Structures are given as structure tokens and as C-alpha cells.
Amino acid sequence: MEREVNAYKCRKCGTLHYPFRMVCKNCRANDYFEFDIEPLPKRGKLLTFTFIHNLPAQFEVARLGLGIVELENGIRVTGQVDIEDPTLGMDVVGNVEVVRHDTYDDRYGFVFRAA
């Protein structure tokens, strides 16, 4: 099964949220569970990026790429960037894979590569 990262769509006004919220930031609808789950698209543009050189112990790499991507539907996400020499504005495509090994769990999230 292909894994997804989900956005949350308000049932009252249709505003899409990522990350999750309990109350809609647009219409402030205050009903429990008033969001529909909607998988985020995978393609987008790289808005900014960095390579981090001092990482917490769980990351067994010397240098980790991270960036902010604006996806096709306009929602922005943070993710890992597996691109040797990225440029601002380049087209990228995300895959959902293990991004962090915690003590009890593997954490899944976006890893972006050149489209």
C-alpha cells in the first residue's frame, strides 16, 4: 500500500489544513470531528532548503537535506530533501518513507527528490 501524508478539509467551508487542527482556521467551525481526511499531492516546487550538519543521535548521517515544498494544491509542507545540488523553485516529487527512527516507532513522512 502506498503511504500518504494527510491534509484535513473543513466540512463547513472546505479549507484545507496541514498540519492537523481541531478548529478550522478559516471559519472557526467548532464541532468535533468536522474534518475530512484528504491525502496531499506528491508533486510541488522547492521553496527553500538547507543541509543540516549537526543532527540528533537518531539520524545516522553526517548531513541531512531539509526543505519546504509548495505542493500542487498550494499546501506547503516540510520534508527531507534527497537531492545533491538543489535549486530554489525546482520541481520535486515526494515519497512517503521512514524519516526518523524513534525508540519505539519508525516515523513516516515526505522525502523529496528531483521530479
Partner 1 sequence: MRDVYIIGIGITTFTRLEYPLSEIAAYASMGALKDAGVTDVDYVLVANMGSARINNQSALASAVVDTLSLTPAGAVRIENGPASGASAIKEGFMAVASGMHDTVLVVGAERMREVNNLEATDFVATLTHPMAEYIYGVTLPGHAAMFTRLYMEKYGVTERHLAMVGVKNQNNAMLNKDAHLHQKITMDGILDSPEAFTNNPWVAEPIRFFDCCPVSDGGAALILASKEVAEASGKPMIRITGIGQATDTLAVHERPEPTDLMAVRIAAQRAYEMAGITAADIDVAELHDAFTILEIAESEEVGFFEKGTGHLALERGETAIDGKMPINPSGGLKGKGHPVGATGVAQVHEIVVQLRGDAGERQVKDARTGLACNFGGFGNNVVVSTYARED
Cα-based angle 74, 40, 51 (whole degrees, multiple of 5): 75
Based on the shown chain and the rule CB under 8 A, indicate whether residue 54 belongs to the binding site for partner 1.
yes
Based on the shown chain and the rule CB under 8 A, indicate whether residue 96 belongs to the binding site for partner 1.
no
Based on the shown chain and the rule CB under 8 A, indicate whether residue 50 belongs to the binding site for partner 1.
yes
The least CB distance from residue 41 to partner 1, in Å, is 15
Please work out the total of residues on this chain that contact partner 1, with binding judged by CB under 8 A. 30
Strands (E) in the chain, as ranges, are 6-10, 16-17, 35-39, 43-52, 64-71, 76-81, 91-101, 106-114
CA distance 33 to 112: 31
Based on the shown chain and the rule CB under 8 A, indicate whether residue 56 belongs to the binding site for partner 1.
yes
- Which residues contribute to the site for partner 1 (CB under 8 A)? 18-20, 47-57, 59, 64, 66-68, 76-80, 88, 99-100, 107, 109-110
